[in-house]
Amino acid sequence: MSTPAMQVRSRIPRLAEDAIQRARLTVVPRRRTTAGRAPFLALVSMVLLGGVVGLLLFNTSMQQASFATTALEQQSTRLAAREQSLGMDLDRLRNPQRIAGAAVKLGMVQACSPAFLQLGTGEVTGAPCSDAVPLRIHAKAPAKPAVLSPRTKVVRVAAPPASTAAGKSTDDTAGGSAARTTGDGKKKSR
């Protein structure tokens, strides 16, 4: 019989031949698969469609924000104009001349120096005024100096005759030849 070492040696070449037989490359026929393209095309179309819809939604929201901004700016302008008109009305109402005029219409007079009555002694301190001085609302305007208002000079000019004023001389109406004056003052004959 053979020894175990001999048996191993005889088995190794057989195992190697089996491995070589299994490792040999063979030509495999091609399989045509259309399923690989369809999901890719669907994915690309969905991405493009989502992008277009997203852009439309973004554009719409930007337009709405623009309209809201314009409306708020117009409201701000109106409110600023109203604030300015109310401020002008308040200044007009606070005008001292208007307040003095309203006081005069109500029959008020300007206060003079007050007098005080001492309750314990009954003595009056100060000089009370008995006659009221009317309020002067508008101060008198100062007189204008003579230099600023000179005398007016009147120059009288005689009017030209009616026939000359119409632009025709008496000789032109008669049909004769007469000398005319041009715009620069020179005489010109016909």
Q: Are 136 and 110 in contact (CB under 8 A)?
A: no
Q: Is the pLDDT of residue 106 over 80?
A: yes
Q: What are phi and psi of 110, to 5 degrees?
A: -75, 135
Query: What percentage of the chain exceeds 90 in pLDDT?
Result: 27
pLDDT at 33: 61
Q: Is the pLDDT of residue 172 over 80?
A: no
Q: To the nearest whole number, what is the mean pLDDT of the chain? A: 77
pLDDT at 6: 61
Query: What percentage of the chain exceeds 70 in pLDDT?
Result: 70
- Band (162; pLDDT cuts 50, 70, 90): confident
Question: 129: which 2 tokens?
Answer: 């005024």
Q: Is the pLDDT of residue 10 over 70?
A: no
Instruction: Specify the higher pLDDT residue, 165 or 102.
Output: 102
Global pTM reads 0.37
- For residue 170, give every residue at least 6 positions away whose Cβ sits within 8 Å of its Cβ, in sequence order, or none: 163
Instruction: Specify the higher pLDDT residue, 128 or 135.
Output: 128
Average pLDDT (2-10) is 61
Instruction: Specify the higher pLDDT residue, 9 or 127.
Output: 127
Taking the domains of the chain in order of start, what are their residue ranges?
51-101
The dihedral through the CA atoms of 21, 25, 26, 28 has a sign that is positive
pLDDT at 176: 46
Rounded Cα distance between 169 and 161, Å, is 10
